[in-house]
Structure formats: C-alpha cells, structure tokens
Amino acid sequence: MIIVCEKCLKSYNLDENVVKEDGSKVSCSRCAHSFKVYPPDTDTQSNLELEDITISKKEHDIDNTFDKEAHMHKHPDLSIGPAGLDIGTSNIVAALDNGDLSQQLNAFFTVPESRITKQTLKSNKVNFFTHANKIYVVGNSSQGFANMFNTNLRRPIQKGFLNSREKIGVDVIKAIVNSIIDKAKVPGQKLCFIVPGEPLDGAGLSIYHESVLKKYISSLGYSAISLNEGLATVIAELQDHDYTGIGISMGGGMCNVCFSYLAVPVVKYSIQKGGDYIDKMTANAVGEAASTIKLIKEEGINLITDPDDGIVTALQIFYEELISELIESLKRASGLFFNTLKFPRPLPIVIGGGTVKPKGFLKLFEKKLESYLLPIEISEIIIADDPLNTSAKGALKVAISEI
C-alpha cells in the first residue's frame, strides 16, 4: 500500500501486512512526523472511505469527496444552538455557542486526477473533490502541496470578495464549510455570517458576495444573518464600552473598518489591502513565493526590532505602508462624516484579524497614529484577545442575541 506523510507529503510503499487492524503509528524518515495509517480492507478503514456528495448540481454538477471519519471529526460538536461563521480571504472560521471553534484555510490546490492519488488522499484524511479530471485539495491540506511545489495557493476569495477568476471558487468554499459545520439540526437555527464593507472607492461589490453566501447558508437549513466585519470586531471586544468605538479587522485580503455607536454602525467601509498584499509585495522584493513569506511571517517576526535579514526588512516596510494607508483612510472617513459623527466621548480602536498577530504590531500602529491628526479623539488602541477568531466570535454573539 502507498502512504503519504500528512506533513511533508513524502510517499512510501508500506507492506499492508504489518499494519494492525486498528491502525499503526509510523514516522516519516524525511521530517520525523508521526501519524497513523490503516490497512486498506479492514472495517476500521472502511469507515474512513470518502463519501461522494454533490456540492452544486446547477453550477458544476461535480462530485465532492470527503473523508467521512475525518469530516465528522473536524466538525465541532454542533448543538441546536446558534453559530457564527467567518468566510474570509485567508481562513474560514466557525464559532459555536458551546465554545467550540473550527478553522480551515480558504484555499485550494489542484493535481491531476488518478485512482491511486485519490486512494492515497483518502487514506491520509485529505479533503478534496474531483472535477474535470482534476483533484481539488481544499482547506488546510492544500498548504502542504503549495509548500512542496514552492508555489502559491489558489483562493476562492480575493481582496475580501468572491474571486471572479476562479469559476469553481464557490464550490471550493462550500466544500470547506461542509468540513467544519453540519447542516442545521433544527429548522431556522440561527447562523450569523460575516460580510465585508464596501471599498471606499468601490460600488456594489458586496451585494453579490453577500447574496451568494446567504443563499448557500440558507440551503443548509439555517436562518442566515449577515454582519459587517468591522462591526463584528466591535461586538466581540467592546462590550465594556457599550459597543461604541472603531472596529478594524485586518484580514488577508482587506481591512474592514466600522465606526459604531451603541452597536449601531455609523460608518463602515473597507480598503482592499491586507496580509496577502504584504506577503505579495515582500515576495516580489526578495524573490520568494508569497506562500513562503506567509509561513515566515506566521512563524514569528517582530515589527519594531532591527531586522536580521532581507525578508524581515521587507515585511516591516510593507506593514508600515499598510498601517499608514489604513490610518489615512480613518482620517479621510472621519473627515467626510465629521459633521454627523457626534460621539460623546473619545473612541477606543479595537483591531482584530490575523494580520495583527506579529510582535510589535500594537507599538507600530500607535507610533504611526501619533503622526496623524484625526478629527475625532482616540482614547486607546486595543488588540483583540484572539485576533484570528474575532469576527466569528462577534458573529456568534449576534446569532445568540437573535434567539
């Protein structure tokens, strides 16, 4: 039998007779990663077979396959309570009222279709579906393939909105969502999902995006509620401030901003630059793949210490550029609506999203903000407790409030 290391994707020929019926633990000779494999013909393995499901007959009529046991294992323990769902450019996160969180990369990688490849992916609990003689590896599993081939992942969402250049993108999103949440357990179960704000210089981009997602979520049996991403940040973090302040979500594809007064959005918008922009510009500057830059960034960098190599130098430069553009947008937005923004007290700024995770981000943001004179007074700057999951948690709070 053929097995593949789930971390580095090195393949091996393994004598199936040495594998126990309930599975055997093996160690990769390349990366030393340990993982469990199963014999191909036991009852245990039969439970791991991927079931064929149809994602969208009208659009593509494609067969989608998921490892049944892995699929069930990846689902949180979904109760009949409400849920929050953040379908972002980089990640898809589900938050449930029992405290469970589930996250997958919102990305995919294609490889040529073959029976042996499908069998190997099945045995290694890789989420995928097939279409037009290609295998679409989706979610977290896709990152290993991008690393192996030193290339970039493909994204069904670009700069915060559905990617019009990826015709199968909606089906990819459905496949990933299906791996982290089940259909509604009871009719009308509340699910609040995140939608981006309209770009400052754009028009109509959010209407199609929101409508497609709402239609799909409703098809799962949920009562779907949309929530602006910037407002979700406020709802998640500013309860002690009566949900009054400026919420900023710095994601992979964009930065969302919302001026909120008592949980009512006064001004909301987005700029179509985020973590992906930083990765891309850094990659272009140093001659590396953007996916490689993303991994280096996530492994841990410091934005305010002296850089020790060219990659960190470039990351610092483009972080500063993005923060400056974001603060400039705050100045522009608050200036445009200055006559209507009569807040009774100085406003806190709360910032969430995966892009804020590097060390030194808060100090860098504070330093940049000091060089701008805003029409409104800022009381403090707060980094969300759990930046990557802030939007989903805000959505969950709204879903709970709708019961």
Residue 61, pLDDT > 70, answer no
H-helix or E-strand spanning residue 314: helix 310-336
Would you state the pLDDT for residue 203? 66
Contacts of 18 (CB under 8 A, 6+ apart): 24
Would you state the pLDDT for residue 341? 67
Would you state the pLDDT for residue 5? 60
Question: Rounded CA gap, 143 and 280, in Å?
Answer: 16
Length of the chain: 403
Higher pLDDT, 361 or 34: 361
Residue 126, pLDDT > 80, answer yes
Contacts of 278 (CB under 8 A, 6+ apart): 297, 315, 318, 319, 322, 355
Would you state the pLDDT for residue 291? 78
- Over residues 164-218, the pLDDT tens digits come to 999 999 999 999 999 999 999 998 999 999 999 999 876 678 999 999 999 999 9
Residue 79 pLDDT level (bands cut at 50, 70, 90): low
Would you state the pLDDT for residue 30? 58
- Over residues 239-296, the pLDDT tens digits come to 999 999 999 999 999 999 999 999 999 999 999 999 999 999 999 999 998 878 988 8
Angle at 150 between CA 145 and CA 156, to 5 degrees: 60
Beta bridge partners of 256: 249, 270
Question: Rounded CA gap, 382 and 374, in Å?
Answer: 18
Paired sense of beta strands 157-158 and 161-162, if any: antiparallel
Residue 50, pLDDT > 80, answer no
Residue 59 pLDDT level (bands cut at 50, 70, 90): very low
The answer to which of 144-158, 161-175, 226-240, 311-325 has the lowest mean pLDDT is 144-158
pTM of the predicted model over 0.75 = yes
Question: Rounded CA gap, 145 and 137, in Å?
Answer: 9
Residue 64 pLDDT level (bands cut at 50, 70, 90): very low
Would you state the pLDDT for residue 104? 97
Mean pLDDT of the region 38-62: 34
Higher pLDDT, 62 or 319: 319
The answer to which of 4-8, 178-182, 209-213, 234-238 has the lowest mean pLDDT is 4-8
Mean pLDDT of the region 137-150: 89
Could you give the domains of the chain? 2-35 (no CATH), 70-235+392-402 (3.30.420.40), 238-385 (3.30.420.40)
* Cα distances (Å, whole numbers) of residue 228 to 87, 147, 335: 12, 33, 21
> What share of the chain has pLDDT > 70, as a percent?
80
- Over residues 292-313, the pLDDT tens digits come to 898 889 888 999 999 889 999 9
Instruction: For residue 62, give both structure tokens.
Output: 């494609």
DSSP string, 45-66: HHTTPEEEEES-TTTT--EEEE
Residue 395, pLDDT > 50, answer yes
Average pLDDT, the chain: 85
